[in-house]
Amino acid sequence: MSTTSTSHLVLIPSYNTGAALYPTVRAAREQWTPVWVVIDGSTDGSEVELLRMAGRDPGLRVLVLKENHGKGAAVLHGLREATRLGFTHALTMDSDGQHPAEKIPEFMAASLADPNALVLGVPVFDASAPALRVRGRKVSNWWANLETLWQGIGDSLYGFRVYPAHLLMGVMEESYWMRHFDFDPEAAVRLCWCGARPVNIPAPVKYFNTDEGGVSHFNYLRDNLLLTGMHLRLFAGFIIRLPLLIWRKWL
């Protein structure tokens, strides 16, 4: 029996995830109500079956975007609708089954206990994790913690997390960025700048190979260049905010 909430929802952006989307959504629905999926201009037809599922399940809602705009843009689209309906927090998770749906209640409980918190998943890797990805994220994590004066971001890239919806939406509406692969780390840094307190919870992550139905849109060169540019922007913002961050840390 899933937990029903009028303040916290699960928000799943999806782009060409294929058949992996359906067990991911079912697993989330077993843990929580409501669950929303934003189809971000997918061309694989995955929205057809998902809309059928939603027709049989009032706890599931599907928002379909005609064109692909990126993960961050899909999350923002969901946030606008969620806040309009009175939701205050959103747990984001990937649509490909990498994130542990069974941890949803624990993450939501941490958010309910501290509504101003940014509840961050800290990935627990198994043998399926590509070594290059595991090592590479350490660089982004180091920069994210420097840019927040070590406020405690356990992992900047793991997308399984709970956001204060109005705070995140406000930050995103004021920014041209945060629409693509740069969404997760920049959101963590900017919400810390706004005063959200990071709360870190370990959560397993599973990487599926092609034979297992794994889907990845990560492009090593393109996305690392995007992250490099993002951290240059954030470092400039960090320098401007440094006196405020030092004052907060001292307090």
The pLDDT tens digits of the residues spanning 180-237 come to 878 999 999 999 999 999 999 999 999 876 655 555 655 556 666 888 899 999 999 9
Q: Average pLDDT, stretch 90-96?
A: 97
The tokens for 230 are: 């993002």
Per-residue pLDDT tens over the stretch 157-171: 999 999 999 999 999
Longest dimension (CA), the chain: 54
Angle (deg, nearest 10), helices 220-250 and 183-193? 10
Which pLDDT value is given to residue 223?
A: 66
Which pLDDT value is given to residue 208?
A: 74
Which pLDDT value is given to residue 137?
A: 87
CB atoms within 10 A of CB 212: 11
Which pLDDT value is given to residue 174?
A: 92
The answer to whether the beta carbons of residues 199 and 119 sit under 8 Å apart is yes
Q: Which residues contact 91 (CB under 8 A, 6 or more apart)?
A: 8, 9, 10, 11, 32, 104, 107, 108, 111, 119, 160, 161, 162, 163
Q: Which residue has the tokens 């307190």?
A: 197
Per-residue pLDDT tens over the stretch 79-90: 999 999 999 999
Per-residue pLDDT tens over the stretch 48-78: 999 999 999 999 999 999 999 999 999 999 9
Q: Set out the domains of the chain in order of their start, with CATH numbers.
A: 3-250 (3.90.550.10)
Which pLDDT value is given to residue 161?
A: 98
The tokens for 225 are: 């260049």
pLDDT of 125 higher than 80? yes
